[in-house]
């Protein structure tokens, strides 16, 4: 004879087929164990193809760069710097979230503050754009002919 607790446990583990709408079909049968090749795992790592850029595709806003490390750099700038116009004109210490359309760097709080500080920003903007394009060029996948024909490190320097 079952005790009261045992009966309650037995009742609670009784399968209730009338409420179950899920039908589980085993993916492997006994005979499939003898197949020569197992099914490939759906969790195998997939290596994305390398990003390549044409010479006329070197400028990207850093926040939308095809290269993750440059997007990460934009995020660092956004978390560590302060919008200069907001500090100087509004006494607000806010992070830049607006990417300058000319250099691609996060420069100001928003478009309005960027337009207000555009004159001061032009002092740095051209140089920042060069850095942006150089960083994308270095990652573009193109052959770096600039470094061909240079003396190798194996030559002695006396």
Instruction: Tell me the closest approach of the beta carbon of residue 127 to Zn ion, in angstroms.
Output: 9
Q: Which of 102, 110, 131, 137 binds Zn ion (CB under 5 A)?
A: 102
Q: Which CB, 32 or 122, lies closer to Zn ion?
A: 122
100 binds Zn ion per the rule CB under 5 A: yes
Burial tier of 86 (Cβ tally within 10 Å: 0-12, 13-18, 19+): buried
CA distance 118 to 32: 69
Q: Which CB, 103 or 139, lies closer to Zn ion?
A: 103
Short-list 53, 147, 63, 66, CA closest to 97: 63
Short-list 73, 72, 97, CA closest to 83: 97
Q: Which CB, 107 or 139, lies closer to Zn ion?
A: 107
Short-list 79, 74, 80, 92, CA closest to 132: 74
Q: Which CB, 51 or 87, lies closer to Zn ion?
A: 87
103 binds Zn ion per the rule CB under 5 A: yes
Q: Which of 58, 116, 125, 139 binds Zn ion (CB under 5 A)?
A: 125
Which residues bind to Zn ion, rule: CB under 5 A? 100, 102-103, 125
């Amino acid at each position: 004879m079952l005790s009261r607790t045992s009966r309650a446990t037995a009742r609670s583990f009784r399968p209730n087929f009338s409420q179950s709408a899920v039908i589980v079909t085993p993916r492997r049968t006994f005979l499939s164990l003898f197949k020569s090749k197992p099914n490939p795992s759906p969790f195998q790592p997939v290596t994305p193809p390398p990003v390549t850029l044409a010479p006329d595709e070197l400028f990207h806003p850093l926040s939308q760069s095809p290269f993750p490390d440059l997007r990460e750099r934009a995020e660092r700038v956004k978390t560590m710097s302060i919008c200069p116009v907001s500090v100087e004109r509004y006494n607000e210490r806010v992070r830049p979230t607006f990417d300058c359309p000319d250099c691609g760097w996060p420069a100001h709080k928003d478009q309005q503050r960027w337009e207000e500080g555009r004159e001061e920003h032009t002092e740095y903007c051209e140089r920042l754009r060069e850095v942006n394009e150089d960083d994308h060029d270095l990652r573009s996948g193109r052959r770096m002919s600039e470094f061909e024909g240079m003396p190798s490190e194996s030559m002695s320097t006396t």
